[in-house]
Amino acid sequence: MENRAHALAAGLFTLLLGIGVIATAAWFSGDTVEMVNYQLVSSQPVSGLNAQAPVRFRGVTVGKVISIDFNPLDPRIILVEISVRGDTPLTQGTYAQLGSQGVTGLSYVILDDDGKRPGKLVAEGGLLARINVKPSFIDAVSNSGQELIENLDAVAKRLNTLLSDDNQKHLVSAVRNLDQMSGRIATLAGALEPTARALPALTADAGIVLKRADTLIANLNQRVETFERAAKSAERLGDSGTALSDAMLSDTVPRLNLLTDDLQRTARGLERTLNDLNEQPHSLIFGRNPVPPGPGEAGFAAKGAQ
């Protein structure tokens, strides 16, 4: 009995000691850093990404991948849950990309920040804070590869159409025409060479003509100035003639009228004198005969009474 009690006590002690060692080891090996979970939203394939894959922020390992699932509302969207250290400076401008680990083909998550939205990234509505996944360089090349192949195929088809038999004939004809045109241009250049050589002398003659034209224009300007002065003198002379005409009309003409009247009176008196001398020449010596009395005057005698 007593031996059994000692054996049971030794067994319980051993069991409790093992549990204590395991708990101590788990406590010392446990991660004491606070972790925060986020959700990556990707519309691109996540080939090579597995759970427990590392998560790096600008090259520093800050967490790991927890799970990878499809979005139940849209199967084309892949949701990747990650766990990141709480002191990681994630902002609203943080984005994710997939990186490749050498030749193994395994992928890991790359977190980076463009600095455009510096606000802290926080969860809303009880859901995990979301980070969008952008295509990596390899993804962009892969996505554009098909489009590049299609473009190359279209270019090849166009080249094939361009180099068809008919087009080749047209190209050969065009080349021949260009060859003939080149020969004609060379002939024309040879014909124009004497003219080109004569251009310097022609230019010198043109310069001399221009100088003479300048001299002629200067002389013409002098003639025009002289003509303008003569015109101004004629204008002043005309003004003087107008003033003289006004003076003659206002002063000389009335005097001429008076002189004309005097001359007319003198001419009439002279005419009467000449008539009297013609009728009575003796009046020049003895004077004029007395005028016979008229009717009603003394000594008047009618011609019938005699």
The 3-state DSSP composition of the chain as helix, strand, coil percent (nearest 5) reads 55, 15, 25
Q: How far is CA 250 from CA 149, 237, 262, in A?
A: 114, 20, 20
Residue 96: closest CA among 107, 108, 109, 84: 109
How many domains is the chain built from? 1
What is the pLDDT at residue 244?
Answer: 55
Q: Residue 81: which of 53, 100, 114 has the closest Cα?
A: 53
User: Which helix (H) or strand (E) covers residue 97, if one does?
Assistant: strand 94-100
Domain that holds residue 123: 31-138
Mean pLDDT of 118-139: 83
Given a cut of 60, is residue 98 above it in pLDDT? yes
Alpha-carbon torsion (67, 128, 90, 63), positive or negative: negative
Q: pLDDT value at position 169? A: 77
Coil/strand/helix, residue 116? coil
pLDDT value of position 304: 46
Show Cβ contacts of residue 85 under 8 Å, excluding neighbours closer than 6 positions: 33, 34, 35, 36, 62, 63
**Residue 61 pLDDT greater than 50, yes or no:** yes
Give the per-residue pLDDT at 240: 62
In a domain, 53, yes or no: yes
49-53, 75-79, 211-215, 241-245: least confidently modelled range = 241-245
220 falls within a domain: no
Cα(44)–Cα(228) distance, integer angstroms: 94
pLDDT above 70 coverage of the chain, percent = 69
pLDDT above 90 for 213: no
Answer whether 37's CB lies under 8 Å from 55's CB.
Answer: no
Q: At a CB cut-off of 8 Å and minimum separation 6, what does 54 contact?
A: 61, 63, 64, 65, 108, 109
The one-letter amino acid code at 98 reads L
Residue 286 lies in a domain: no
The whole-number average pLDDT for the span 223-235 is 70
Residue 198 lies in a domain: no
Q: Does pTM top 0.75 for this prediction?
A: no
Strand-pair partners of 296: none
Is pLDDT above 70 for 303? no
CA angle at 109 for the pair 28 and 66, rounded to the nearest 5°:
50
Q: Chain-wide mean pLDDT for the chain?
A: 77
pLDDT for 181-201, tens place per residue?
Answer: 888 888 877 777 777 776 677
In a domain, 55, yes or no: yes
More confident residue, 300 or 120: 120
Buried-state track 242-262, b at ≥16 Cβ within 10 A, e below 16: eeeeeeeeeeeeeeeeeeeee
- 243-266: pLDDT as tens digits: 655 655 566 666 667 777 777 777
Least confident of 25-34, 49-58, 168-177, 181-190: 25-34
d(CA 19, CA 12) in angstroms, rounded, equals 11
Residue 298 placed within a domain: no
The lowest-confidence range among 73-82, 128-137, 180-189 is: 180-189
**Any domain includes 242:** no
> What's residue 56's pLDDT?
93
Per-residue pLDDT band at 306 (split at 50, 70, 90): very low
* pLDDT tens, residue by residue, 142-186: 666 667 788 888 888 887 777 777 777 777 888 888 888 888 888
State residue 68's pLDDT score.
92
What pLDDT was estimated at residue 84? 92
Residue at 267 is within a domain: no
Give the number of residues written for the chain: 306
Confidence of residue 80 (pLDDT cuts 50, 70, 90): very high
Q: What span, in angstroms and rounded, lies between the C-alpha atoms of 124 and 127?
A: 6
pLDDT at 291: 65
112 burial class (0-12, 13-18, 19+ CB within 10 angstroms)?
Answer: middle
Least confident of 65-79, 110-124, 198-212: 198-212
